[in-house]
Amino acid sequence: MATVTLRDIVKVYGEFVAIKGVDLDIEDGTFVVFVGPSGCGKSTILRMIAGLETISHGELKIGGKLVNDLPSRDRGIAMVFQSYALYPHMSVNDNLSFGLKISGVAKPEIEKRRGEAAKMLGLEPYLDRRPSQLSGGQRQRVAIGRAMVREPEVFLFDEPLSNLDAKLRNQTRIEIKRLQRQLGATVIFVTHDQVEAMTLADKIVVLNDGRVAQVGTPLELFERPQNQFVAGFIGAPSMNFLDGVVTGGPTSAAITLAGGLVLPIEAQKFDLPAPGTAVVLGIRPEDVVPEGHGTRPALGADFEGQVGFAEMLGNESLLFTELGGVELVSRMQHPRLVAPNETVRFRIDGGRAHIFDKQTQNSVRR
C-alpha cells in the first residue's frame, strides 16, 4: 500500500475554479473519506487521483512518486464506481479476471488472486452467474473484487453504496471496512452520506466549495468543529444555531439568546469576545434535553416550547419546537407520543455549547 500526497492541487474548467488549492496527506493503510455537499469537489479530487481528470496546478504523489502525468494504469490504483461498471455479458468469474488477462498476468496467478477475492467477499457460489442474476449488494462485491485482484496500492471508491437500499448499504459498509482492515489497504472513499463517513473513516476530509474545511477523526469533527459549516454538516440531525450575545465575565460567562434566555457556559473552554459581542450558539439536538428524558444537565437553562412536529424513529424521537422565533430540534430518548402543539419543558446543556464568531463563522473554542 502507499501514501497519497496532494500539494496545492487546483482544477480549473475554463474560467471556473472547481478545486482551489488542496493540501492533504493520506497515510499508508488509512481509510480516508471525502465528504461534503453536492458540488463541493470531492469526486473531482478523486478523479484527479485516479488520473481521470488532469491537474491544472499542484503536485500529486502516490507512494512518494509524482504521478501528475502518469496514465491511470500506471498509478497503482483501482477504482470502484457508483454504477458497478461490470461487463453484463460476462460471468462473475470473467469479470474478476478480465483486467488481469489483458494486463498479461499468468493464468495460475489470475486463478490464485480470483480465488482469494471470491472467498474473502463470499462470491464463490455466484462465480458462474452474470451481473443481471445478482442483487445490488452482490454486484457491488464483484466490483470490489475486481479492484482487489489488481492488488493496487490505493483503493478509490466513488459513492459505491448510493444505489443500494438502506439494509444493503449497512451490510456492504461493514464488509468494506472489514475488508480494508484485513488487507491493510489505503482507501479513499467519496460519499455525500455523513453516516457512511462517520462509521467508515479513520480520517474524514470535509470539503466545501473546492476547499478543505477540516480534516480529522470522526470524533474530532463531531466534538470540535472548527467552523459553522463543519458543525452543521457533521451530525444528524444538524446542529441547531441560535444568535446570541456574550454576557458575564471571564469565569462566569453566559450567552443571552433571543427572548432573554440566559445560557451559562464553561468560559474556560473558549476565547470569548468582549461582553455585548454578538455570537452564534451551536447546540446539538441531543443536548436539548426534554424534561424526564435523559440526564438533566447540571449546567444549563430551561425553557418551555410548543412541539410543532414530532418525528418518531422507534428508539428515539425528534421534537421540533421554537426558541426566540428560531426552529430548534431536540432528540428525545425513550420516546413517548407527543401531541401536536403540546408544551414540553426543555433544558439546553450549557456544558456542550459550541460558540462561533458571527463574522468569520469560526469556532472560538480553545
The CATH number linked to 100 is 3.40.50.300
Burial track 44-53 (b if 16+ CB lie within 10 A, e otherwise): bbbbbbbbeb
Query: Is pLDDT at 361 greater than 70 in this prediction?
Result: yes
Q: Is residue 179 located within the same domain as residue 63?
A: yes
Once rounded to an integer, what is the mean pLDDT over residues 17-31? Answer: 96
Once rounded to an integer, what is the mean pLDDT over residues 81-104? Answer: 88
Q: Is residue 15 located within the same domain as residue 93?
A: yes
Query: Is pLDDT at 227 greater than 80 in this prediction?
Result: yes
- Consecutive H or E run containing 278: strand 278-283
In a domain, 193, yes or no: yes
In a domain, 362, yes or no: no
Q: Is residue 190 located within the same domain as residue 282?
A: no
In a domain, 366, yes or no: no
* Number of structural domains in the chain: 2
What's the pLDDT score for residue 99? 85
In a domain, 292, yes or no: yes
Q: Is residue 51 located within the same domain as residue 191?
A: yes
Q: For 123-174, how does the pLDDT look when each residue is reduced to its tens digit (9 = 90+)? A: 899 999 999 999 888 888 898 888 888 888 999 999 888 877 778 788 888 8
Residue-level length of the chain: 366
Confidence of residue 297 (pLDDT cuts 50, 70, 90): very high
In a domain, 276, yes or no: yes
Query: Is pLDDT at 84 greater than 80 in this prediction?
Result: no
Domain final residue, candidates 172, 201, 227:
227
Confidence of residue 259 (pLDDT cuts 50, 70, 90): confident
Average pLDDT, the chain: 92
Q: Is residue 305 located within the same domain as residue 218?
A: no
DSSP 96: H
Which of 242, 243, 235 is CA-nearest to residue 218? 235
What's the pLDDT score for residue 317? 92
Report the C-alpha dihedral over residues 358, 195, 160, 175, rounded to 10 degrees: 150
Once rounded to an integer, what is the mean pLDDT over residues 1-22? Answer: 95
- Consecutive H or E run containing 355: strand 354-357
Confidence of residue 85 (pLDDT cuts 50, 70, 90): confident
Q: Is residue 115 located within the same domain as residue 9?
A: yes
Of 7-21, 157-171, 333-347, 350-364, the poorest mean pLDDT is in: 157-171
Q: Is residue 212 located within the same domain as residue 299?
A: no
Once rounded to an integer, what is the mean pLDDT over residues 192-211? Answer: 93
Q: Is residue 197 located within the same domain as residue 255?
A: no
- For residues 122 and 113, give the distance between their C-alpha atoms in angstroms, rounded to a whole number: 14
Contact partners, residue 177, CB within 8 Å, separation at least 6: 31, 199, 200
Domain final residue, candidates 162, 195, 227:
227
**Contact call for residues 305 and 320 (beta carbons, < 8 A):** no
What's the pLDDT score for residue 73? 87
Domain final residue, candidates 193, 227, 261:
227
Q: Three cell numbers at 276?
A: 455585548
In a domain, 364, yes or no: no
In sequence order, what DSSP letters do the residues of 155-220 get, joined into one string? EEEESTTTTS-HHHHHHHHHHHHHHHHHHT-EEEEEES-HHHHHHH-SEEEEEETTEEEEEE-HHH
Examine residue 237 and say whether the peptide bond preceding it is cis (omega within 30 degrees of 0): yes
Q: Is residue 135 located within the same domain as residue 200?
A: yes
In a domain, 55, yes or no: yes
In a domain, 223, yes or no: yes
Q: Is residue 157 located within the same domain as residue 203?
A: yes
Query: Is pLDDT at 207 greater than 90 in this prediction?
Result: yes
Q: How far is CA 183 from CA 117, 121, 180, 289, in A?
A: 11, 12, 5, 43
Once rounded to an integer, what is the mean pLDDT over residues 194-202? Answer: 91
Q: Is residue 217 located within the same domain as residue 269?
A: no
Q: Is residue 223 located within the same domain as residue 241?
A: no
Assign residue 305 the CATH number of its domain.
2.40.50.140
The domain of 353 spans: 237-357
What's the pLDDT score for residue 250? 64
